[in-house]
């Protein structure tokens, strides 16, 4: 079995992350079976896709995401920072995203929050998933154990996963106590021993985020079932798949628009 490819924030190595352009491009790659996106909430309580807590990096807006309504957020340009060809790309709502991928891709929905930034976000995400009967197509992940505990309390039938950038000695115990069946871990913190033990305990493992052939192959060698999260599904294909590409053309980025794949996604 080839290690599954997870498109990180969509095909974000080319298209602007967490936009429908990146989602659609990921869906065009026949090897992509999973997609990972980040979910936050507008001022008027609508879940939408964006990674940072502020708008500064990936839109032409400024300030916290939580201070603007969905209409205000969707009026922003979320594509020009990546390339001129994506000018006018919008921030998509979670509903729009789920409607697009339903029955086509499995999704890792990272709940992006901290403290009491987005009261009720978990309920809104769970409701959106259940309305579409997508309980078996998604996993909800977070760095924060309290978020995962709350999801388990109110979201029966929905899988949860802990995101972590290190390997504490009690990691498997933590996952068991949280009733998690998914582990999202920085690829440099993952070992063959941890992967083997996790899979034996019924816990799927996703390693993030690798965009070069060497790192993808090295991580894949740890265990054949590890999900490989990448901004570049075309590089995954070179490293793990047939080696044949779809001749995806990388559009030039604006200066300062690159996303560091080594940064910790907090």
CB 176 within 8 A of CB 201: yes
- Whether 51 is a known active-site residue: answer yes
- Whether 179 is a known active-site residue: answer no
CB 163 within 8 A of CB 132: no
**β-pair partners for 230:** 7
CB 164 within 8 A of CB 144: no
Report d(CA 179, CA 128) in Å as an integer.
Answer: 22
Vertex 131 angle, CA 112 and 26, to 5°: 55
Report d(CA 74, CA 81) in Å as an integer.
Answer: 15
| Residue 73: closest CA among 65, 63, 81 | 65
Find the helix or strand (DSSP H, E) in which 39 lies.
Answer: strand 32-41
Is the previous residue joined to 209 through a cis bond, with omega within 30 degrees of 0?
yes
Altogether, the residues listed in the chain come to a count of 266
How is residue 258 written in tokens? 């690159």
The residue from 8, 133, 136, 247 that is catalytic is 8
How is residue 52 written in tokens? 């940072």
Instruction: Identify the DSSP state of 54.
Output: B
| Residue showing tokens 């009026």 | 75
CB 92 within 8 A of CB 49: yes
How is residue 50 written in tokens? 């964006």
Residues designated as active site: 8, 51
């Amino acid at each position: 079995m080839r290690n599954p490819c997870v498109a990180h924030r969509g095909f974000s190595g080319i298209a602007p992350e967490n936009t429908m352009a990146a989602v659609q491009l990921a869906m065009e790659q026949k090897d992509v079976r999973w997609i990972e996106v980040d979910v936050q909430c507008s001022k008027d309580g609508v879940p939408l896709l964006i990674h940072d807590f502020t708008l500064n990096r990936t839109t032409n807006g400024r300030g916290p995401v939580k201070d603007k309504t969905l209409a205000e957020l969707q009026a922003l340009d979320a594509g020009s920072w990546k390339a001129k060809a994506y000018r006018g790309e919008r921030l998509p709502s979670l509903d729009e995203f789920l409607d697009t991928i339903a029955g086509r891709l499995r999704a890792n929905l990272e709940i992006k929050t901290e403290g009491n930034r987005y009261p009720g976000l978990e309920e809104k995400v769970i409701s959106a998933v259940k309305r579409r009967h997508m309980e078996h197509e998604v996993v909800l992940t977070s760095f924060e154990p309290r978020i995962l505990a709350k999801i388990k309390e109110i979201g029966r039938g929905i899988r949860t996963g802990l995101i972590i950038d290190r390997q504490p000695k009690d990691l498997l115990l933590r996952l068991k106590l949280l009733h998690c069946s998914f582990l999202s871990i920085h690829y440099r913190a993952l070992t063959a021993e941890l992967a083997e033990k996790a899979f034996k305990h019924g816990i799927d493992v996703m390693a993030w985020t690798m965009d070069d052939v060497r790192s993808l192959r090295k991580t894949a060698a740890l265990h054949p079932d590890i999900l490989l999260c990448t901004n570049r599904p075309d590089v995954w294909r070179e490293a793990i798949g047939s080696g044949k590409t779809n001749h995806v053309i990388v559009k030039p980025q604006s200066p300062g628009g690159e996303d560091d794949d080594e940064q910790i996604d907090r």
